[in-house]
Amino acid sequence: MAKVYTIDTHAVTEMFWTITNDGAMKWRNWYDACITNLQKKNKKGIFDAEKAAKLLGYMVYEYEREYAKEWDMKRMNKAEREAVARMMVDDILDNDLLS
């Protein structure tokens, strides 16, 4: 039986904005590498939003883990991290970053 998660939309939105506006080179380089990867896939015609969300999900997981540790916060659940990754993909598509 699948585990049912509740989503804290405020926490998801906050994490999205925190990740996308973090100036630390570690995260900026990782995010830029993901964008470059997705641009190549889009150019080849094999871009898949679900796979893009999974790719960004790895970054969200690591970022959230360090963020929770630094601020002594409760960790986000899987559904919340996936929601952040989907928001990032939507943001990439909305801002036409794959061109």
Task: Please state the domain extents for the chain.
Answer: 11-94
DSSP code per residue over the chain = -PPP----HHHHHHHHHHHHH---HHHHHHHHHHHHHHHHHHHHT---HHHHHHHHHHHHHHHHHHHHHHHT-PPPPHHHHHHHHHHHHHHHHHTTTT-
Q: Is the pLDDT of residue 4 over 90?
A: no
Q: Is the pLDDT of residue 2 over 80?
A: no
Contact indicator for 85, 60 with CB cutoff of 8 Å: yes
pLDDT tens per residue, range 24-74: 888 899 999 999 999 999 999 999 999 999 999 999 999 999 999 999 989
